[in-house]
């Protein structure tokens, strides 16, 4: 029984690093540095200040392109505050069904 438990723990601990995602503070980097990190790692969590609520910290996942998104999601341009810019252009994942409803309506003539 001990061998089975130890084997299970070994398998679990070996798989854990593959699930890890790096976390950074966006205000520690320039826009170029933040984009380089995202491109290099394909997906990261960035901590950043909220633009709407004072003294609130947000955590968002930013990706290099749509290939870093799950199936059914696409890369959508968003903006991240950094040390040198308040609006550094980056990408987040959005559901493919998140299009404007007018784009989906087909009106017969």
- Per-residue pLDDT at 109 exceeds 90: no
**43 neighbors 22 (Cβ within 8 angstroms):** no
pLDDT given for residue 100 in this prediction? 52
Residue 46 makes CB contacts below 8 A (sequence gap 6+) with 23, 24, 25, 26, 34, 59, 60, 62, 80
Q: What is the pTM of this model?
A: 0.71
CA distance 85 to 16: 35
The per-residue pLDDT for range 55-88, each reduced to its tens digit, is: 999 999 999 999 999 999 999 999 999 999 999 9
In the chain, where the domains are located: 20-97
Strand order in the sheet with 73-80: 23-25, 43-49, 57-63, 88-95, 73-80
pLDDT given for residue 30 in this prediction? 98
pLDDT given for residue 6 in this prediction? 52
CA distance 109 to 71: 34
CA distance 18 to 108: 50
The per-residue pLDDT for range 5-54, each reduced to its tens digit, is: 555 655 555 544 556 899 999 999 999 999 999 999 999 999 999 989 99
């Amino acid at each position: 029984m001990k061998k089975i438990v130890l084997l299970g723990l070994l398998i679990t601990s070996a798989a854990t690093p593959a699930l890890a995602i790096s976390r950074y503070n966006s205000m520690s980097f320039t826009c170029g540095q933040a984009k380089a990190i995202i491109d290099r790692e394909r997906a990261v969590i960035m901590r950043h200040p909220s633009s709407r609520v004072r003294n609130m910290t947000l955590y968002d996942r930013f990706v290099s392109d749509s290939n870093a998104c799950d199936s059914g999601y696409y890369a959508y341009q968003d903006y991240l505050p950094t040390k040198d810019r308040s609006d550094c252009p980056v990408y987040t994942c959005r559901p493919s069904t998140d299009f404007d409803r007018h784009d989906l309506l087909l009106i017969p003539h």
